[in-house]
Structures are given as structure tokens and as C-alpha cells.
A and B are shown apart, each in its own frame.
Chain A
């Protein structure tokens, strides 16, 4: 970008300089001016079909579509001039001829671009008196539902399937005022990334069947996060209402996922709302687990660990902070750390370089490896008699009490209490899951990315870094950490891969770890 020739122009009276070849719409964003648009999307090829982004360029004989007009030296652009607004008003009136005014029952209401721009600069009333065109609602397969009446034919979905997913399934069928989006004969929107057309759709024509009629856009609280679905580490927004995760949406990050997110990550959120959580620290007394205080439970755990080796089986979905603190614990007791990764099928998004739903279905595999944990399909195989087994946020599916019987003691640090642990665990420390705490994940290319807290943890559950930090403190190592930022600062100070990083420098886009920058996204 640095070697591109810069072009100077004026947009809405503001001087802007943009690299040569930039479209006016993008240059206007640099000037802080939003040009209304429908068919244009930064992640898709330009089509120029909606005519919504018309702007007035001085010395040009007609209005220019700003998504498809490149900047030129000395250009003077008026976005909100009378002529441009008049043209856009016309476009909006035409779009609304057949668009039903059913905002009250439309799921897009509140985040609908047609609604926004009509309020912003549309006519107060339509002049068209004939009945509106009607088409039935169609199920597109996958998670997608098509409400043809609301479609404004921007073709973002068609271009996504064709140019980004490279599996063309959608097309504009029929012509003239009967035109609508249709599927190819006998095909369905089953591409693993097809759910993105729901976000791309500027109106309520493509809707998610999963979140249909569940929540209104304005009721949702949004937090920046990172998808825990696989090791790709797509940036996402967690949308919650009343402390329940309602849906997940991609958060743009050019270096990782651009504007997209796969359906696996998008729909795999129900576990975040689990109700069968451990809410209190527990210690084994008289053959059953009894709820107790954090102080007592931590002291009990520290007593169990005294003079013993710890075998830590950690989940690769724990944050870097928690994993490195667990690694400290392993080092201090001279034990070993292992982890297990669930496997799935890899599903790349063809149009974006190095973006895929990865086979490793856990967010922090790289982080766990960097912390010194050993990847293993049989993570309990190295467990020696007398060792203290610490199971951190791992359900150990397929394991029962007899498999862990020869451990000296079992400490569970987890969000849930699996059935095998009801009688096997000596101490249970409840922790928050990854949408209930702050932390960082390291993705498969070594990019360290922050995620924020989106909802409150149940009961007395504490953030994982906090719980492990306190356990170390109870063992006489350090004093624990009050915030995730402090825990990360300690990690950055002691590990050279993270040298110089802090929550402030990571910001929302993340930073590559030292030595992992070469060529990778």
C-alpha cells in the first residue's frame, strides 16, 4: 500500500488522500462520510446494480455510482448535495414499490439498511398505488430462509456463493419486476460457509432459521470475541440478551476471516448457555462432594498437590493466560501437561486465502502447544500412580471413574461436572467459559487475539486465569491476578513469543507471535 500513488480529492468539503484506484465510496469512508449503498460490500466484487451509492462529482455531466468510480486527482465529490439526495430518494421509492412494510414482523428490523436509509433520506410516503408483488417464502436449505418479497436484488448473496464460496448455487431468476433470487435446480445452500449470505443481505430477505423470531436487533448486547469453534480463530461478535447468547456473527478482520464466519462456528453457541454448570467450589467429604468456599477449596487443592506431581489435562479451549498458569503449575510440581483435540472435517472458504473451518475443533491448540502441553489422543496414558490429576475444562468423554482410579487425587477445574467426576473428584473449582471471561487465544498461524466477556458467569464461578492464579498462590507461587490484563502482562514478561504484547497493543485485531509472521495470515 505504501508504494501506491496517492490521489488527493475533496469529499463533502473534506480533503482526502487515497491510494490510486480506490473507489469513491471507500475514499469517503476515510473522510468519515458514509455513502448509502446496497450492492456494494467490501468483501465482494463490485456489481453496481443498486444505484443507491450515486454521488455528484463536479464537472461530471451525470451522477456517478461511487462504488464503481475510481478517485481522481482534484475531484470534488458531493454526497449530500440536493441532486444526489434526489436521485437516491428515487431509488428508495422504487425499491419500496414491492418491498412489504412488515418491519414489525421482520427479523432484520433494527439492523436493516433499507430501513435505515429510508429513515435517513427516503420519502415520507410512497406514491405507487397498485398492489405489491407477492412471492412465497422459500427454504434455501442449510440455515437460510428466503423471503422473496423483501428482496431488493442487490445480488450480494449470488456474488458471495459465486466468487467467495466458489460454489454457485444462487442466481437471479425471472426478469423485470418478477425477478427474484433462486437456487439452481436440485441444489441447496448447504455449503459450510453459506450462512454468511444472511449477514450479507442488507434487508430481511435472507434470514437465519436458527435465530428466526428469537430476538430483536435492538435488544441485543454485543461483545467482541473470538470464535472457539476451531483453530482458525475467526473474529466474532457475541450477541446476548438477558445473559443468554442469542447468536454469533462475524467481526471483520482482514488478517484472519475478512467478513466471514462458517456455519459450524456460527451455530455452535448453545453450550455457552448451558444450565448444568458447576456454580460452587466443592470438596469431597464423607464420600460425596460438598459445596464450600473458594478459600477452603483452594487450600484443599494445594494440600493435595503438596509434594506430588501434577498431571494436567487441559482443554485447548482455555485462554493463553490460564494455560500458561497451568504450565507453571506443571513445572513447579515436576509433572506433565497433556491435551486432546476434537477432530472434524476441514472446510475451506475457497475465495479467501488461508481461511477454513479447521480440522482441529478447538480455539487454542497453538497456545496449548506453546505453553508446553503435549497433544495426545490418549491423554491419560502417562498418568502414573500417585500423581494428582488436574482436569481443566475437559469433560473427558468416554472416560469413567475406573480410568482415573489410580491417580492419587483428582482436581476438576471446570465449567461442568461430568458424571465420572461425581465420585472421583477430590476438589472441584468452578470456572467461567470463554464468553464469560476475558482472555486471549492463539490461532493456528500464531496470531494472538483477545476476546471479551459477553455474559456473567453462574454462581461463584471465577475466570479461569483467576482460579488457576489463586491455586498457584495457595501453593505459595505468586499472588494471583485480579484482571486478565495483569495475567497476560505476566505471561508477556516471561515468554519471549509474547514479548512486548499487552491487551492495549493487541486491541481488537490481534498480533502475530514472534517468529510466526512469515507469510501467514
Chain B
């Protein structure tokens, strides 16, 4: 020891790793018998709130047409300006959406579109897996919105404010 460091001898019970290892094992074994909290995503999925607001879905009538009548309320109420709607007329002279597109990147998932819809056509969905290979894939057109099958959001219910 050229600079004369003083080495203090410690008792073996203080320097042995056995003690700490056993302490760790004890914690591990204790957790083996406790309830598991980790969800094994994606094999297992977390249940989400009934009021979850995810990517949209367009509901259809019995004959497979979109319920939307192109009234124009959702593009007007949308605070993010993410809905594009061009109204048109079908063979029976009914109003229907020629173009209905939602840019899910611009959407802030406020749920106003669902709330304002007088026909209960557009809904925000209880859904969160939205990965795409391209940015363009996030502009959902009418066909895509109608093809979605996930459950839809049940908006805030004044009779049940805590959603219980």
C-alpha cells in the first residue's frame, strides 16, 4: 500500500453476499404466491372503459348502407377540423355522403362527432390498436369506417356520471 490506505477488517456476516441473496430470494418467493398484476399483452388485453374514445366507426342500416345522411353537423362541430364530408344524392333521391373521410391523425378524440350525430351514425370506438405502415392509412374513408367491427363508445351519461 504505497500511499498507506487503511484496510478495516469487517466481520464475515457483514461482507458475505449470502445474506443479501437470501433477502432477494425471499422477496421473489413471496411474489410467486401473490396475485399477478402484469397483463400479457398482446396475448391478453386490458379491458377498457365503456367511455373509451378511440378511432371511429360508422354504423350501418340493416341493408348495409351507412346510417349517415350527410347533414354536415360533425364537420361543423369538429374542433380539430378532421372530417371531410361531401354530400350527394342517391338513386332514391336521399341525401347521403359522397365522401366521408376522417383524418385520425388530426382527430383529438373528443367524441363531439358522436354526440352531435342526429342519426347515431358516426361513433368513436372502444379500440386502441391502430398501427399502419403509412401515414395515408390514417385517413379513414367511408368504406373503412363501415368495415370496423370494434365496440363503440358509450358517451357520458348524466344519470351515471361516474360510469359505474
Q: Which residues of A contact B (CB under 8 A)?
A: 103-105, 109, 137, 212-216, 218-219
Contact = CB atoms under 8 A, between A and B. Distances in A.
Contact of A213 (B70, B118, B119): B70
Contact of A109 (B71, B88, B93, B119): B71
A104 B73 contact: yes
Given A109-B71, A219-B72, A104 B119 contact: yes
Contacts of A103: 71, 118
B95 A213 contact: yes
Interface of B: 69-73, 76, 87-89, 93-95, 118-119
B89 A212 contact: yes
B89 A104 contact: no
Q: Which 8 A-B pairs rank lowest in CB-CB distance, beginning with the nearest?
A: A104-B71, A216-B72, A104-B118, A105-B69, A105-B95, A213-B95, A213-B89, A104-B69
A45 to B, nearest CB: 34
Contacts of A215: 87
A105 B93 CA distance: 11
7 contacts: A103-B71, A104-B73, A104-B119, A215-B87, A216-B76, A218-B76, A219-B76
Contacts of A214: 87
A388 B89 CA distance: 51
Contacts of A212: 89
Contacts of A104: 69, 71, 73, 118-119
Residue from A137, A212, A213, A214 with most neighbouring chain B CB atoms (10 Å)? A213
Given A103-B71, A105-B69, A105-B95, 13 more contacts: A103-B118, A104-B69, A104-B119, A105-B70, A109-B71, A212-B89, A213-B88, A213-B95, A215-B87, A216-B71, A216-B72, A216-B76, A219-B72
Contacts of B73: 104
Contacts of B76: 216, 218-219
Contacts of B72: 216, 218-219
A105 B71 contact: yes
B92 to A, nearest CB: 11
Nearest to A145: B93
A218 B74 CA distance: 12
Nearest to A104: B71
Nearest to B76: A218
B94 A105 contact: yes
Nearest to B88: A213
A109 B93 CA distance: 18
Contacts of A109: 71
Nearest to B68: A104
A55 to B, nearest CB: 33
Nearest to B90: A213
Contacts of A105: 69-71, 94-95
Nearest to B93: A137
B31 to A, nearest CB: 57
Contacts of A218: 72, 76
A47 B69 CA distance: 36
A273 to B, nearest CB: 16
A41 B158 CA distance: 43
Contacts of A216: 71-72, 76, 87
B4 to A, nearest CB: 87
A214 B70 CA distance: 10
A213 B87 contact: yes
A216 B118 CA distance: 15
A219 B81 CA distance: 13
A109 B72 CA distance: 10
A101 to B, nearest CB: 9
A218 B93 CA distance: 22
A79 B73 CA distance: 32
Contacts of B93: 137
Contacts of B69: 104-105
Contacts of A137: 93
A204 to B, nearest CB: 12
Nearest to A107: B95
A103 B118 CA distance: 9
Nearest to A217: B72
A213 B97 CA distance: 10
Nearest to A102: B69
Residue from B69, B72, B93 with most neighbouring chain A CB atoms (10 Å)? B72
Contacts of B71: 103-105, 109, 216
A213 B85 CA distance: 12
A216 B97 CA distance: 13
Contacts of B70: 105, 213
A216 B73 CA distance: 9
Nearest to B73: A104
A268 to B, nearest CB: 22
A219 B73 CA distance: 10
A213 B72 CA distance: 11
B20 to A, nearest CB: 70
